[in-house]
Amino acid sequence: MLHTARRLLGRIGLRLLLVNLLVVLVPVAGLEFARLYERQLLGALERDMRHQAILVRRMLETAQREGAPFDALAHQEVLRLAAMDTRTRVRVFLRDGAVVLDSHRDGAPEGPEPLVPSLLPVGAEVAPGSLTSGRYRATAGDFSAQWSDAHDEPWPPLTERTEVRRALTGERASFTRIRERSPEVLLFVAEPVFEDRRVVAVVYVVRSTQPVLLELYRIRRGLISVLSIAIAFTVLVSLALGWTISRPLARLSRAAQRIARGDRDAPVPIVGSGEIRDLSESFAQMTRELDGRLRYISDFAADVAHEFKSPLTSIRGAAELLGEGAAEDPTARQRFLRNIELDVERLDRLVSRLLELSRIEASQEPKVVRDIAALVADVARRASTPDHEVKVSSEGTEPLLAAVRETDLVTALLNLCDNAVRFSPVGADVAVHVSGTSEMICVAVRDQGPGVPAAHRDRIFDRFFTTDAERDGTGLGLAIASAVAQAHGGTLTLDPAAEEPAPGESGTSAGACFRLTLARKPGS
């Protein structure tokens, strides 16, 4: 059954159901409290009957000590009034069983309503046997009264009853019996009356516990009805919640399983509302990013294989020629060995750049706040050569602060400066200008080289793309700088306006200008 519920609701729905049921079952403690309350009421009822019997006993004993003549009529009136107020029957009988006083001698006295008025019509609805001996014994376990299981037999005469025999020996006693012809429980209390330390009579008090039991039975029945409705409502609500939560999650789970099996085109459903819909959209976004990352890795592997293939093919060709006899010619041998050396150097540069790109893309270096103008000035000193000076200018005097991964940003700036130096003619300077707005910081690196041909401008940021292989470029410098810019919430772009000829210099390029933007630290 648990497996079926889990299959229909899912684990979340099942947990919702269990938690809600636990909350609803808290009122079950009320049933136990009702049982405790019943014991206390019945115990209080027995104590009240004992006090009533003691009052009658003291009345009789006081009259005997004072030597007053026995006034049966006066005592009878006192018993009648006591019975009328408490709805009990009080009798006084001698050792031989002769009844001398009885509150009900002239019939049950008319008085106020019973203990619990609302129980009179309810009593007619109680099925015979609903107050069985076993049930009552469970509820009356804290009583001092003894229990009679022989309720189907005629009750014994007064002097032969257990509680009366104990009272005749001078001991207070109580007993509980069930009336034969109705589901009514009676409580008997016997109180001995002494004269010169000798028992001469017994005060016998009888009271029905049915009003108390029936009222508590009605309360229990109401609690059970309310509890049953609450449990049914909770189950329905839990089923509805479990269905509305588990069903969209199950659809997401199936989509995730299809993607895990390699179906990258499996659609991710946008389901539910609220947090479930947010989860669906986040999952779809994550799937798109993972798919893009997989395509990037696939393209990256293909590009690496292509770039490695040319030098490896060249090395293998030179080695084969040397093995076929070219090594015997000193000039040919030197040329082939030089070619192998150059190809190995190119492979080494490629591997170094690839490791650098991989490190930047997976960088976990914490960001620190730096003055970008000061950082660029330090990079410019490192990038300057005897033939080319990298000059830095900036706007204003306020520091341009940004939260950056310093190592990565320095690498990107060095790549841009080295690229500008490599393409500039001997003796030409490289200009770096740092400017800022309220939200962004821009670093513009301008060289005095031939510029970027219009046909190549859309590809210059692609991995391994280079416009001049003879300059020992790997085609990864701009790709690395672009990755750093994106990691800092910025961009790396080629300024098309810088490619236009200067006024009065028709046909002459002004060089290439790359702009690296970074997110500025708020308030700086």
Each of the 524 residues of the chain gets a pLDDT tens digit; together they read 445 444 444 566 666 667 666 666 666 666 667 677 777 777 888 888 888 888 888 888 777 776 655 555 566 776 776 666 567 888 888 888 888 888 877 665 544 434 333 333 323 333 333 333 333 433 333 434 444 444 444 667 888 888 889 999 989 888 887 766 666 678 899 999 888 888 888 999 988 877 777 777 787 787 778 778 877 887 777 777 777 777 777 788 788 888 777 777 777 777 766 777 787 888 888 888 887 777 777 777 777 776 777 788 888 888 887 777 776 778 877 887 888 888 888 788 778 877 877 777 776 778 889 999 999 999 999 989 888 899 999 887 788 898 988 888 898 898 899 888 888 888 888 999 999 888 889 999 998 888 887 777 777 777 777 765 545 566 777 888 888 888 888 889 888 765 555 444 444 456 889 999 998 887 65
Strand pairing partners for 191?
203
Could you say which architecture CATH assigns to the domain 275-361?
Orthogonal Bundle (1.10)
Q: What is the 8-class DSSP label of residue 174?
A: E
Q: Sign of the C-alpha dihedral, residues 126, 130, 133, 136?
A: negative
User: How many whole angstroms separate alpha carbon 84 and alpha carbon 110?
Assistant: 6
Q: Sign of the C-alpha dihedral, residues 355, 361, 364, 368?
A: positive
CATH class of 368-519: alpha beta
Could you say which architecture CATH assigns to the domain 45-107+115-211?
2-Layer Sandwich (3.30)
> CB pairs under 8 A, 24+ apart, for 364-367?
365/405, 365/406, 365/407, 365/408, 366/405, 367/403, 367/404, 367/405
CA atoms within 13 A on the CB side of 91: 22
Q: Where are the domains of the chain?
A: 45-107+115-211, 275-361, 368-519
User: How many whole angstroms separate alpha carbon 256 and alpha carbon 277?
Assistant: 16
